Amino acid sequence: MSNSRKFFESLTGAGKSIAVLTSGGDAQGMNAAVRAVVRMGIYVGAKVYFIHEGYQGMVDGGDNIQEANWESVSSMLQVGGTVIGSARCAEFRAREGRLRAACHLVQRGITNLCVIGGDGSLTGANLFREEWSGLLQELVQSGRIDERSAECNSVLHIVGMVGSIDNDFCGTDMTIGTDSALHRIIEVVDAIMTTAQSHQRTFVLEVMGRHCGYLALVSALACGADWVFIPEMPPTDGWEEQMCQKLSENRADKKRLNIIIVAEGAINSSNKPISAGYIKDLVVRCLGLDTRVTILGHVQRGGTPSAFDRILASRMGVEAVLALLEACPGTPACVVSLCGNQAVRLPLMECVQMTQEVQKAMDEKRFDDAVRLRGRSFENNLNTYKLLSHRKADAELPHAEENGGEQEEGPHDGPFTVAVLNVGAPAAGMNAAVRSAVRVGITEGHRMMAVHDGFEGFAKGQIKEMGWGDVGGWTGQGGSLLGTKRTLPAKHIDKIAEQMRIHGINALLVIGGFEAYLGLQELLAARGSHDPLCVPMVMVPSTVSNNIPGSDLSIGADTALNAITGTCDRIKQSASGTKRRVFIIETMGGYCGYLASVGGLAAGADAAYIYEEPFDIRDLQSNVEHLREKMKTTIQRGLILR
């Protein structure tokens, strides 16, 4: 592909050697990170080595350190765990073990190390880097390496990527493996819900996470659990009565099941453990409910990585290689993190110290500090769960004054009557967004009105007030329970304005795709001739196409990517045993190439044709030549997305 566009031309890895290893507990997506490091390293002209079995392989040397090539990381993306192996190594903690490891690296000229693991693995790597010059001097004095080798390999550069299902590392919004672990938990919860509803049971689920409650908190948010126990925010004294009262109220509201999620490190306000068995016994004793305990265990670590983890790991792997190439002798060790939607580099030891500070805060019962140290994302998730799961008593709500169905003149400063509607094609997650909006609105004292069938239903007056219980169980349901249409409001403006006046609607929340975006623009343009439209209007992007201006990620796009990735995995598997077969897969997305390009990255496609990147016959010819060369290797299979 000589005529293809070249990226990172100013960076060269010629003459450099990079080693990649996975250490500590395994996590889905580690293989995608290894693949990205190897291929990016080869792309810039560096030599890349696998270190098998983590630090143990580095200490033992020999066949544990092997040169990697482009082909050796094929078909790794869809495999969970780590194919190069991982081990917890006691020898590396001793200086003699690190001395042997340094000797094995110098023998191969490796001075760039990419470590994928948790905070313990990354701390060990930083200590290794700090001791490097002393270790080389010792090796020279003992005659195990010569002076010239020590001079050529005088500086060791370290970059870390956090691979952990616990998401317990400060400085990054998500660690590699967390999203896939959440997939496993939600799959189990969905399966449990059907049997629990049949028998009106209560289930207590224990999830992993050690001393971090992220998995428990976010899975509780995703499945609408009745109660959650996390170590960062222990329940207050008297929680037993409060929980039993909540479960009892939910049963009285004709809810046929209860889900309680417990982090394995859950504690009470006295730092004493709260076990799943204790909670089960409590529910049986106080309420007499048929209660079962399910401990998920290592199921959460296994299985195929999600699309998000593959993409995250691939992006981090590329950034890690760039960090190593740009490093100077005085550059401190860094860790590649996710901040918002951007891969960033942060000082490694600062992040490790912050992570250790969380545990210290919990030990000292400074739980508010522990939540704050976990980061903005964790804090937001906790606050959102509290808002959506626990209904305030009517006496606590800021009640709206009756306005007789007519809009008041002048600016509105009291509680609102908010209309919520879906517009455009259905997208996974729409119902969860409606549930959140309705419950938060009710908590703030607003009247929440559901509009069925988009702008068409709005014009016909298909409007109904929604209560707290009306949106129960909506979180995990796909499609749009309100009903949605692509129709734009232009030809219904008069009727929509009239319906807003009749129902006293003075705020509009539209959840949908590009049609929702255009629809709001039309309503905005009509404000001059229709006073009822002069109200606050907000849009929540919700489309598989991910084509809404101003938004990095729309609701529904991640689920669509997982569907594409899963389909591509099965199609690639179907080619196993056959030879010289190319698959061409068409994705949705209209004129937006997000699903094709990012789906191609997650599935390991050979090419992705998208509208934003014009191509001609020469590009097709180049890709055909690439596939022809590929068929001469052991990977006699091609995958193209469009």
What's the rounded Cα separation, in Å, for the pair 386 and 368?
15
Does the annotation count 146 as an active-site position? no
In 288-429, which residue ranges form alpha helices assigned H by DSSP? 307-326, 348-363, 367-374, 376-389
Q: Is residue 215 a contact partner of residue 207, using CB atoms and an 8 Å limit?
A: yes
Contact in structure between 232 and 367 (CB atoms under 8 Å): yes
Report whether 534 contacts 523 (CB < 8 A): no
Of 166, 179, 309, 558, which one is the catalytic site residue? 166
Q: Which two tokens stand for residue 301?
A: 């670590």
Radius of gyration of the chain (CA): 28
Strand, helix or coil for residue 414:
coil
| Among the listed residues 208, 202, 192, the one whose alpha carbon sits nearest the alpha carbon of residue 281 | 202
Instruction: Report residue 398 as tokens.
Output: 């800021």
CA angle 469, 473, 478 (to 5 degrees): 130
DSSP 62: G
Longest dimension (CA), the chain: 93
What is d(CA 97, CA 56) in angstroms, rounded to the nearest whole number? 9
Dihedral over Cα of 563, 568, 571, 572: its sign = negative
Region at 584 (left for phi over 0; alpha for psi -120 to 50; beta for the rest):
beta
CA-to-CA dists, residue 13 to 45, 234, 326, 642, angstroms: 5, 50, 10, 32
Q: Check if the beta carbon of residue 162 is closer than 8 Å to that of residue 173.
A: no
Segments of 187-267 assigned E as strands = 202-207, 227-229, 258-263
Q: What token pair was written down for 312?
A: 């995250």
CA angle 352, 19, 141 (to 5 degrees): 90
Cβ within 8 Å of residue 439, ≥6 positions away: 387, 388, 391, 468, 471
The three-state secondary structure class of 300 is helix
Distances (CA, A) of 277 to 52, 294, 299, 573: 39, 10, 20, 42
The CA distance from 293 to 279, in Å, is 9
In whole angstroms, what is the distance from residue 310 CA to residue 316 CA?
A: 10
Phi-psi category of residue 303: left, alpha or beta, with phi > 0 → left and psi -120 to 50 → alpha: left
Neighbours of 496 (CB within 10 A): 27
Distance CA 44, CA 543 (A): 37
CA distances from residue 497 to 369, 415, 460, 491 in whole angstroms, order as listed: 48, 20, 11, 12
Euclidean distance between CA atoms 466 and 84, whole angstroms: 53
Contact present, 101 and 110 (Cβ < 8 Å): no
Q: How far apart are alpha carbons 189 and 200 in whole angstroms? A: 15
3-class state of residue 336 by DSSP: strand
Query: How many Å apart are CA 117 and CA 119, to the nearest integer?
Result: 7
Active site residues: 166
